[in-house]
Amino acid sequence: MKNIAVIGAGTMGNGIAHTFAQFNYKVSLIDISEASLEKGMATIAKNLDRMVAKEKISEADKTQTLQNISTFTTIKEGVENADLVVEAATENAVLKSKIFKELDDVCATNTILATNTSSISITQIAAATNRPDKVIGMHFMNPVPIMKLVEIIRGYNTSDEVMETIAELSKKVGKIPVEVNDYPGFVANRILMPMINESIETLYNKVAGVEEIDTVMKLGMAHPMGPLQLADFIGLDVCLSIMNVLYDGFKNPKYAPCPLLVNMVMAGKLGIKSGEGFYDYSESRKAEKVAKMFSLS
């Protein structure tokens, strides 16, 4: 396996492309937006510069990594020689199914199709193709070049051979693969997102403020960042999307998204990406200042 195509140049997509390219795989980074591709490549270059500054890689390594990545604005061109395609588009089941149907049409018959979905059924996505045995979940963690875990999700029809191939590939790019089965939220988000949602409920019910909730979890449970800060980092729209997948999948009220989360997303308060969530990021990308609406409560 030498040629990897990555669909989506956003946070996860450019991180996945960076990781494979750094381990000398030839990567095609695909996005319908030229501007998104330029931004994604700039992010990769910036992250590589940080690694050079920390002496984790050399300047030559940085140059080689960037040379290993080619960009494309159409799926057909980008996947022409791909042994593996990793889809990292928006967390939307309809969109992902549409992408996988196109991939099935244009990719070679032996190409493995992976999705970076954090919650949507692999079996559902695979149903859009004529190769469900070659469809698998590769849920990378953010930031991809740093985080070691990859959740490997087996769809109902995913073959043992594909499972083993992707697990071995993950190890070759410095990751630790963990195999899980195909249920809403898998393991990571089935546990994490209800905790974040409950933290938002705690704020909504005025049990404590933003900093107080995060401080309890950081100091009491040794979490590196509090759940509200983490929600801002992930993106509140993403959190809401995953909670909706859990709620729709299990039909259990405990997975219903908090009304405060719903309202914040509708108001465009999405966290770091929008400049404001539970914290105000207008002056710094660090969670140093509580957002005005919560600092008054």
Residue whose C-alpha is closest to residue 151's, from 142, 159, 216? 142
Q: Is 34 an annotated catalytic residue?
A: no
Within its chain, how far is the Cα of 257 from the centroid? Answer: 20
Q: Catalytic residue, from 18, 68, 139, 197: name it.
A: 139
Neighbours of 157 (CB within 10 A): 16
Q: Is 170 an annotated catalytic residue?
A: no
- Asked whether 93 and 122 are in contact (CB, 8 A), the reply is no
Report how far residue 231's alpha carbon sits from residue 284's, in angstroms, rounded to the nearest whole number: 17
Q: Is 118 an annotated catalytic residue?
A: yes
Tokens (6 digits) for 201 = 């409920």
Q: Please write down the HEC assignment for all residues of 175-227.
A: CEEEEEECCCCCCHHHHHHHHHHHHHHHHHCCCCCHHHHHHHHHHHHCCCCCH
Residue 165: helix, strand or coil by DSSP? helix
Binding-site residue set for NAD(+): 8-13, 31, 91, 96, 118, 142, 273
Beta strands in 68-148 (DSSP E): 69-72, 84-87, 112-115, 135-140
Report how far residue 118's alpha carbon sits from residue 141's, in angstroms, rounded to the nearest whole number: 9
Neighbours of 226 (CB within 10 A): 25
Radius of gyration for the chain, computed over Cα atoms and rounded to the nearest angstrom: 19
Which segments of the chain have a pLDDT < 50?
A: none
Q: Catalytic residue, from 118, 170, 197, 241: name it.
A: 118
Q: Catalytic residue, from 14, 121, 170, 189: name it.
A: 189
Report how far residue 265's alpha carbon sits from residue 267's, in angstroms, rounded to the nearest whole number: 5
Q: Which domains does the chain have, with CATH numbers?
A: 3-181 (3.40.50.720), 190-290 (1.10.1040.10)
Residue whose C-alpha is closest to residue 244's, from 275, 265, 225? 265
The per-residue pLDDT for range 252-269, each reduced to its tens digit, is 999 999 999 999 999 999
Indicate the residue type of 217.
M
Report how far residue 112's alpha carbon sits from residue 82's, in angstroms, rounded to the nearest whole number: 9
pTM reported for the whole predicted model: 0.91
Q: Is 284 an annotated catalytic residue?
A: no
